[in-house]
Chains A and B, each alone.
Chain A
Amino acid sequence: MTSDWQKRRSEFNHDWLKNRFLTAVASFMNILDDLVEDTETERSFVGEILPQWPGRAREAARLVADFETQMSPTTLFARPPLCCCGSASASWLPNLVHLLWCRRIGIDVLCIDAARSLADANVAYKNLSEVLAQCADCSSAEALRPFLSHFRTFRSACEKVSGMISRFPSRIELV
Chain B
Amino acid sequence: MNERNTNPGTPEALTTALPKILVIDDLFGRVQDDGRNPERRDLCGQFLIEDVTGDLQNGQSRQKIKRPIAQAVFCRGQTPAGAGSGDMVENDLYGTLNFVRQLWQPDDGSFPLAMVLLDLCFYTGRVTAASESKRGRGMPEGRDSDDKPALYFGLRVLDALNQEFPNLPVIILSSMPREGVSQQFSWLMGRGFLPRGDANSPKLLRDYLWRHGLIPDQGGRIVGKSKELLLALWAARRAAADRLNVLIRGERGAGKELLAEYINRCGAPEEKRRPLVVVDSGTLTPALYASELFGHVKGAFTGADRERQGRIVQADGGDLFLDEIGNMPPDVQTGLLRVLEGRLVTPLGASSGRAVDVRFISATNEDIELKAAVGEGFRADLLDRLREGRTVVLPPLRERREDIPLLVEQFVRQAEAAGSGAMTRKIAPEAMAKLVAFDWPGNVRELRNCLLKAISDHPDVEHLVPGHLVFAKDSARVSASQLSARRQGAKGVPAGRVGEMKIADLIALLEQVEIDAAETSAWAGRWPDLQRGYADVTLKLLRVALLATRRITLQNPEGELKIHPAIKLLTGDSAITATKAADLVKRIFSSIPEAIRSDFQRDPVLQAAYDIAVRLRPTSAKPGSGKERQTL
Complex Cα distance A38/B46, Å?
12
Shortest Cβ distance from residue A13 to the other chain B in the assembled complex, whole angstroms: 7
Is A137 part of the contact surface with B, judged by Cβ < 8 Å?
no
Choose among A19, A31, A37, A38 the residue that contacts B175 (Cβ–Cβ < 8 A): A19
Shortest Cβ distance from residue A80 to the other chain B in the assembled complex, whole angstroms: 19
Is A88 part of the contact surface with B, judged by Cβ < 8 Å?
no
Residues of A within 8 A of B175 (CB): 13-14, 18-19
What's the interface size class on A, roughly? 20 to 34
Residues of B within 8 A of A39 (CB): 62
Contact A38 B43 (CB under 8 A): no
Contact A27 B41 (CB under 8 A): yes
Most buried by B among A34, A156, A159: A159
Choose among B39, B63, B65, B180 the residue that contacts A20 (Cβ–Cβ < 8 A): B39
Contact B66 A35 (CB under 8 A): yes
Shortest Cβ distance from residue B162 to the other chain A in the assembled complex, whole angstroms: 25
Q: Which residues between 2 and 59 of chain B lie within 8 Å of chain A, taking CB atoms? A: 27, 39, 41-46, 48, 59
Q: Which residues between 538 and 564 of chain B lie within 8 Å of chain A, taking CB atoms? A: none
Complex Cα distance A38/B66, Å?
11
Which of B192-200, B251-259, B309-317 participates in binding chain A?
A: B192-200
- Given A28-B45, A31-B45, verify A23-B197 contact (CB < 8 Å): yes
**Chain A 143-158 against B: per-residue CB contact (8 Å), 1 yes, 0 no?**
0000000000001100
Chain B residue, CB-CB nearest to A37: B64
- Given A14-B175, A40-B59, verify A159-B45 contact (CB < 8 Å): no
Contact A22 B197 (CB under 8 A): yes
- Given A24-B42, A27-B41, A30-B48, verify A36-B147 contact (CB < 8 Å): no
Residues of B within 8 A of A1 (CB): 144
Shortest Cβ distance from residue A32 to the other chain B in the assembled complex, whole angstroms: 11
Complex Cα distance A46/B41, Å?
17
Is A41 part of the contact surface with B, judged by Cβ < 8 Å?
yes
Contact A26 B62 (CB under 8 A): no
Q: Which residues between 171 and 186 of chain B lie within 8 Å of chain A, taking CB atoms? A: 175-177, 180
Q: Which residues between 1 and 30 of chain A lie within 8 Å of chain B, taking CB atoms? A: 1-2, 10-11, 13-20, 22-24, 26-28, 30
Choose among A13, A14, A19, A38 the residue that contacts B45 (Cβ–Cβ < 8 A): A38
Is B96 part of the contact surface with A, judged by Cβ < 8 Å?
no
Complex Cα distance A90/B229, Å?
69
Choose among A17, A30, A34 the residue that contacts B46 (Cβ–Cβ < 8 A): A30
**Chain A 27-67 against B: per-residue CB contact (8 Å), 1 yes, 0 no?**
11011001111111100000000000000000000000000
Residues of A within 8 A of B136 (CB): 15, 20
Residues of B within 8 A of A95 (CB): none
Choose among B121, B177, B201 the residue that contacts A26 (Cβ–Cβ < 8 A): B201
Is A75 part of the contact surface with B, judged by Cβ < 8 Å?
no
Is B101 part of the contact surface with A, judged by Cβ < 8 Å?
no
Is A162 part of the contact surface with B, judged by Cβ < 8 Å?
yes
Is B156 part of the contact surface with A, judged by Cβ < 8 Å?
no
What's the interface size class on B, roughly? 20 to 34
Contact A23 B64 (CB under 8 A): no
Complex Cα distance A155/B148, Å?
29
Is B134 part of the contact surface with A, judged by Cβ < 8 Å?
yes
Q: Which residues between 126 and 149 of chain B lie within 8 Å of chain A, taking CB atoms? A: 134-136, 144, 147-148
Contact A27 B42 (CB under 8 A): yes
Residues of B within 8 A of A19 (CB): 27, 39, 175, 196-197
Is A69 part of the contact surface with B, judged by Cβ < 8 Å?
no
Contact B196 A22 (CB under 8 A): yes
Chain B residue, CB-CB nearest to A162: B197
- Given A20-B136, A23-B43, verify A37-B197 contact (CB < 8 Å): no
Complex Cα distance A166/B178, Å?
11
Contact A35 B65 (CB under 8 A): yes
Contact B46 A27 (CB under 8 A): yes
Contact A15 B45 (CB under 8 A): no
Residues of B within 8 A of A18 (CB): 175, 195-197
Most buried by B among A10, A11, A20, A23: A23
**Chain B 196-224 against A: per-residue CB contact (8 Å), 1 yes, 0 no?**
11110110000000000000000000000
Q: Which residues between 152 and 175 of chain A lie within 8 Å of chain B, taking CB atoms? A: 155-156, 159, 162, 166, 170
Residues of B within 8 A of A170 (CB): 177, 180
Is B487 part of the contact surface with A, judged by Cβ < 8 Å?
no
Chain B residue, CB-CB nearest to A44: B38
Residues of B within 8 A of A22 (CB): 196-197
**Chain B 58-94 against A: per-residue CB contact (8 Å), 1 yes, 0 no?**
0100111111000000000000000000000000000
Complex Cα distance A166/B176, Å?
9
Complex Cα distance A83/B64, Å?
60
Residues of B within 8 A of A35 (CB): 48, 65-67
Complex Cα distance A166/B195, Å?
12
Contact B198 A159 (CB under 8 A): yes
A contacts, CB < 8 Å to B = 1-2, 10-11, 13-20, 22-24, 26-28, 30-31, 34-41, 155-156, 159, 162, 166, 170
The 16 sampled A-B contact pairs (Cβ below 8 Å) are A1-B144, A11-B135, A14-B147, A19-B39, A19-B196, A22-B196, A23-B197, A26-B197, A27-B43, A27-B45, A30-B45, A36-B63, A37-B63, A159-B199, A166-B177, A170-B180
* Supplied contacts A20-B42, A36-B63, A156-B199, 10 more A-B pairs, CB within 8 Å: A14-B176, A15-B135, A19-B196, A19-B197, A22-B197, A26-B197, A27-B44, A35-B67, A38-B63, A40-B63
